[in-house]
Amino acid sequence: MEKKSAAIQYNRLISKERVENYSRIFDEKIDKLHLPPVFKRKWFSASLLLIVLLLIYFSLREIEGTVEGIPTFKVSTGDFIVSVTESGEIRAKNSVSISAPRIRGNLKIIYLIPEGTYVKPGDVVARFDPTEAQTKLKEAEAEQEISLSKKEKLLANHKSAMAQMETQLKSAELSFELSKLNLEQMRFEAEAKQQEALLQHKKNELSFEQTKQEYESKKIIQQSELNEMEIEIKQKQNELDRAKRDMELMALSTSAEGLVVYSENWSNDGRKFGVGDQPWPGATIMNLPDLSAMESVTNVNEVDVSKIKKGQSVVVKLDAFQDSSFGGTITSVASLGRKKDNNSNIKVFEILVEVVGKSDILRPGMTTSNKIIIDEIPGVISVPLEAVFEKNNQTFTYVMNGSSFDEREVELGTRGEDFVVITNGLEDSDIIALRDPTNENDRKKNVSKENINLPNS
């Protein structure tokens, strides 16, 4: 309190010196003017000086914005903004994603290019532990060699079997032809011998036909076995090619240029990917954002999401550059909610805000404060929430009356994050207390001497 009184006295002393200086200058100016003598008399100058002092005194009272330690707020009519403010994170609206390879087995990151590096097409940006891939490649190569050896063995067996079958077929054919000749020679022999020769001929004929069928069947069987072997070899070759491809994918190269930004690893509490992590196949490890179009990703509580709609205006501020703000527009509102975190049952909905304009200070990963404009009510009186008090189911404010405050009942309208609309009970230029003047503890607190003004946004 003593510090505040000293500050006020100091301000008034400075103001007094300024008034005396202005009065002296004013007198000099009057002397130089050709005015009637009455305007140059001392009582006239004294009257002017008194008026100036009174004006300065009341101005100081208003500028100080406090009465006996109570901060005040000057009521005025203006536009009232209904908004919801949520934190978010800047990201590029369009970007090239670099994902973990879709391979069989486990992946482990052993190298990542530093975040923030500007890369060009062909640059290696990540490497994975190749141990498992190398093992699978060797196994695939061995299996392929085995399948090729089996094919060679099968072909050799087929060749040997076919040679044997051809011999048997030739022998059966010769026996058939001999019996046929013998039957011709028996035409003039006894009937019994003719009958014997005929039977032998039929037997040889059946044997020949059977051997021909076995020969044809053997060729079909061998072709089927060879086809199966070819399929097996093709499968082994595919596995070998895939193992080689997986081995090549142990080093990821980029096909585009841009600034490297690591992605979040949701299996590791949402922290960004790093060396030693084991990403799942297809997981986005990093992005190369297009910095020409940016957006802010934010989450809105399920209580407020019903107020949020596509096309609403947003004021986007960077936490790192509080003096800079950007316009924005909501481009997407998620249809499905998710848990805020693993330890909370609160549901949030993802909101995408397109940032209007370009700036060199906009960088992916920056934290933003997104003020979503829900509604704008023109020409109303609104006051800070801390200026409204409640007692016995009545709402009221404390309005300055001289050096004290009078309790005045008010009616409330739309409520915002920091301000509330007063539909009845206050008028323009009323000065109200921001703390309860009847509370002695509040009266003893040091407070700022500055007025609190109604924000325009």
Query: Residue 122 falls within a domain, yes or no?
Result: yes
Q: Name the percent of the chain lying above pLDDT 70.
A: 81
pLDDT at 11 (0 to 100): 43
Same domain, 30 and 165: no
Total residue length of the chain: 457
Closest CA to 396 of 404, 406, 439, 67: 406
pLDDT at 444 (0 to 100): 38
DSSP 116: T
Same domain, 244 and 146: yes
Same domain, 285 and 178: no
Residue 281: which CATH number?
2.40.50.100
Residue 417: which CATH number?
2.40.420.20
Burial class (CB in 10 A: 0-12, 13-18, 19+), 184: exposed
Query: Residue 297 falls within a domain, yes or no?
Result: no
pLDDT at 49 (0 to 100): 57
pLDDT at 369 (0 to 100): 94
Same domain, 163 and 109: no
Same domain, 136 and 232: yes
pLDDT at position 298 over 90: yes
pLDDT at 393 (0 to 100): 87
Closest CA to 202 of 170, 173, 180: 180
Q: Is the pTM of this model over 0.75?
A: no
The answer to whether the beta carbons of residues 296 and 88 sit under 8 Å apart is yes
Give me 21's structure tokens. Answer: 């200086």
pLDDT-derived band at 243 (thresholds 50, 70, 90) equals very high
Query: Residue 12 falls within a domain, yes or no?
Result: yes
* 373-421: pLDDT as tens digits: 998 999 999 999 999 999 888 999 999 998 889 999 999 998 888 899 9
Average pLDDT over residues 50-62: 53
DSSP 203: H
Burial class (CB in 10 A: 0-12, 13-18, 19+), 383: buried
pLDDT at 20 (0 to 100): 59
Same domain, 121 and 255: yes
Query: Residue 341 falls within a domain, yes or no?
Result: no
Same domain, 163 and 177: yes
pLDDT-derived band at 47 (thresholds 50, 70, 90) equals low
Average pLDDT over residues 201-228: 88
Query: Residue 456 falls within a domain, yes or no?
Result: no
Query: Residue 85 falls within a domain, yes or no?
Result: no
pLDDT at 258 (0 to 100): 84
pLDDT at 63 (0 to 100): 37
Same domain, 124 and 149: no
Number of domain units in the chain: 4
List the domain range (segments joined by +) for residue 155. 131-248
Query: Residue 42 falls within a domain, yes or no?
Result: yes
As a whole number of angstroms, the distance between CA 248 and CA 241 comes to: 11
